[in-house]
Amino acid sequence: METMRDGFERQITYLRVSLTERCNLNCFYCRPGEGKVPERDGMLLNDLVKVIRAGARVGIRKVRLTGGEPLVRPDLAELVSALAAIPEIDDIALTTNGCLLSAQARALKEAGLKRVNISLDTLRPERFRAITRNGEWSRAWAGVEAALACDLHPVKLNMVMMRGINDDEVENFVGLAKDRPLHVRFIEIMPIGASSQWATDRLVPADQIRQAIADRYGPLKPVKPAGGDGPARCWTIPGFKGSVGFIAPLSDYYCPSCNRLRLTAAGTLRPCLCKGDEIDLAAALARGADEDELIRLIVQAIARKPQGHPEHEILPVKDRFMSQIGG
């Protein structure tokens, strides 16, 4: 079957899969606090493979495994291996906080994982503990080093920029890309879940960061994003091995190019991050849905995909936390 298009002629080729709502960290902008919301363990491995195989039949080619923290699942390498065996899937990526990655990177690479994004909002151990409520920075950095050592390229570092919290570390993050093939991406904070009430006040526009970098290093050269067709706008700095990028859902309206669906840990298919509309695949599987029925439901989700949020405005998303949707 050919790649499906939604009602706005966008080809839908990308599925983000939340494997669990659980996480070994407790970042204040992502989660409400320990024990305040029940956490699902995510769909069973066989059900996940069924859904993704059905998605592949209607054009899904890229799968990103996320959470919560996907590395807390003991069957992650087995899942990656099963997805790598689906002929139509040509890109399997992982988003992680990195703290458990050093012990698993080699096995995941051998199972078929292509590349990894590591969420890292600070390079200061004390600040890392404050943001994550309980984390050790050294474990996250060990994950970065393991990803590089295992050739999980491109290795991307995702930094959520928050005014007054970590916006004084831009130059230090840029410096990481000088001698290492790291792709540092600065991400605008979004008003979703735990951050829905205050994100706008903490917003640092991407253009402001890019200008600060250009003032320090000279003109930046635009470049195609490494390893993907996502929303990042990427730039190189002369003499640097890596790159810098910006994901700006508020100041750089990229909904017209959105090519993704999201499968939540609860087993619902969400056509748009910012809209509460979801299709319950877990319920369909529980009643014995076969692959053809799953395909019909996925096609419905594609058809229900909205044009996007209002330009330069994202209304607060309160129906789920980011860790439940899949960050």
Tell me how many degrees the CA angle 221-224-226 measures, rounded to the nearest 5.
115
Under a CB-based contact definition with an 8 Å cutoff, are residues 149 and 105 in contact? yes
At residue 175 the predicted structure's pLDDT band, cuts being 50, 70 and 90, is: very high
Q: What is the DSSP letter of 256?
A: G
pLDDT on residue 273: 87
pLDDT on residue 35: 60
Q: Where is average pLDDT lowest: 40-44, 169-173, 175-179, 189-193?
A: 189-193
Q: Where is average pLDDT lowest: 140-144, 243-247, 306-310?
A: 306-310
**Distance from C-alpha of 259 to C-alpha of 61, rounded to nearest angstrom:** 11
**Residue 201 identity:** D
pLDDT at 1 over 60: no
What are the angstrom distances between the C-alpha of 180 and each of 11, 47, 137, 149, 160? Answer: 34, 38, 19, 11, 21
If one compares 21 and 225, the residue with the highest pLDDT of the two is 21
pLDDT on residue 274: 83
Tell me how many degrees the CA angle 192-177-122 measures, rounded to the nearest 5.
40
pLDDT on residue 249: 80
CATH architecture of 14-325: Alpha-Beta Barrel (3.20)
Under a CB-based contact definition with an 8 Å cutoff, are residues 18 and 52 in contact? no
**Tens digits of residue pLDDT in 52-83:** 999 999 999 999 999 999 999 999 999 999 99
Six-digit token string for 242: 């890596």
pLDDT on residue 316: 67
User: How would DSSP label each residue in 183-247?
Assistant: EEEEEE---BGGGTTTHHHH---HHHHHHHHHHHH---EEEPPTT--SS-EEEE-TT-SSEEEEE
With a CB cutoff of 8 Å and minimum separation 6, the contacts of 9 are: none
What percent of the chain has a predicted confidence (pLDDT) above 90? 76
pLDDT at 139 over 90: yes
User: What is the average pLDDT across 180-207?
Assistant: 86
Closest C-alpha among 204, 256, 247, 266 to residue 38: 266
What are the angstrom distances between the C-alpha of 309 and each of 8, 19, 80, 312? Answer: 14, 26, 32, 8
**Tens digits of residue pLDDT in 227-255:** 766 788 999 999 999 999 999 887 777 78
> What rounded mean pLDDT belongs to the chain?
91
**Tens digits of residue pLDDT in 6-60:** 989 999 999 999 999 999 999 988 877 666 666 778 999 999 999 999 999 999 9
pLDDT on residue 230: 76
Under a CB-based contact definition with an 8 Å cutoff, are residues 2 and 51 in contact? no
Under a CB-based contact definition with an 8 Å cutoff, are residues 28 and 6 in contact? no
Sheet strands (E) in 266-319: 268-270, 279-280
The half-sphere exposure of 315 on its side-chain side, counting CA atoms within 13 A, is 9
Q: Hey, where are the domains in the chain?
A: 14-325
User: What is the average pLDDT across 165-182?
Assistant: 97
User: What is the average pLDDT across 123-141?
Assistant: 97
What are the angstrom distances between the C-alpha of 302 and each of 8, 19, 83, 110, 287? Answer: 10, 21, 21, 32, 22
Best-predicted range by mean pLDDT among 135-139, 205-209, 271-275? 135-139
Q: What is the CA radius of gyration of the chain?
A: 19
pLDDT at 283 over 70: yes
**Other residues' Cβ atoms within 10 Å of the Cβ of residue 58:** 20
Bridge-based pairing of strands 182-188 and 155-161 is parallel
Would the CA dihedral through 252, 257, 259, 264 be positive or negative?
A: positive
Can you give the pTM of this predicted structure? 0.94
